[in-house]
Amino acid sequence: MSDVVKVTREGPVTVFTINRPDKGNAISRAVALDMQAAFAEFDRDDAQHVAVITGAGDKQFSAGADVTDLPELWRCIPTLGITTEKPVIAATSGWCVGGAMVMVTMADLCIASETTKFYYPEAKLGFTGGIISGLPGRIPHKIAMEIIMMCRPMEAQRAYEVGLINKIVPVGKQVEEAVAWGQELATFAPLVLKTIKRFVTQTVLPKGPSEYMAHAMVDLERVRLSEDGQEGARAFKEKRTPKFKGK
């Protein structure tokens, strides 16, 4: 992995920092891939119980997808490319734009500094990935459609009032508070938290077409990169019967 995603540990809490402050912490192809890989490692680590996602510095959580190096954004979105059932907390400050807002929307919790501004400008720009369609299932419908259709920034106070974030803190305190919440969560029963999260994400929250597509991409990639997938490709080239292991 490169240095565009910084991973640190605070006891049982892992902090993932999008580390491109000179680019507004924009999500490049490398950011999406590295975030997905780092989360897979986090999920395998039984000593790590909670994840925090943030951006370097306090000016911008993230400017969204890097249009000069477009990522497969689904890879770094909680419950999609990030498949962990452990709690995920977003810690935001400054601008949170486009795909970065999707990341926050799909996280379980969000601690925001008082300067946080959410902005979803895709209708102005003429393209969309569609995953934002999950927003009306998480906050009131008309408010969600205002964000998506009117392309107007929403400041932290209103985001708190409509239920998009859990708590507003002074600038510079968002990660500290998110880690504190994570450390408290780490004292609770992991199986209970995972089960409740699975019930909520699989059966309670509605999914849009782009989410289903992303889930399909995850499953298909798992097959393609599996031992059986590699064995099948080798056997085809070698003109022999493959020996599958179910792995």
Q: What pLDDT score does 224 carry?
A: 83
E strands present in 98-218: 109-113, 117-119, 154-155, 167-169
pLDDT for the residue 17? 98
Q: What is the mean pLDDT of each run of 10 residues along the chain (247 residues)?
A: 91 98 97 97 97 97 95 94 96 97 97 98 89 93 96 97 98 98 98 96 83 79 85 87 89
**Tokens 């205002």 found at:** 146
CA distances from 39 to 80, 96, 145, 197 (A): 12, 21, 31, 17
pLDDT in the model for residue 232: 86
Query: Which residues, other chains included, contact 228 with Cβ-Cβ below 8 Å and sequence gap of 6+?
Result: 242, 244, 245, 246, 247
Q: Determine contact, residues 55/95, Cβ cutoff 8 Å.
A: no
Helices 227-238 and 209-224 cross at an angle (nearest 10°) of 60
What's the whole-model pTM score?
0.90
pLDDT score recorded for residue 1 = 62
Query: What domains, with CATH codes, occur in the chain?
Result: 5-189 (3.90.226.10)
End-to-end CA distance of the chain: 24
pLDDT at 202: 87
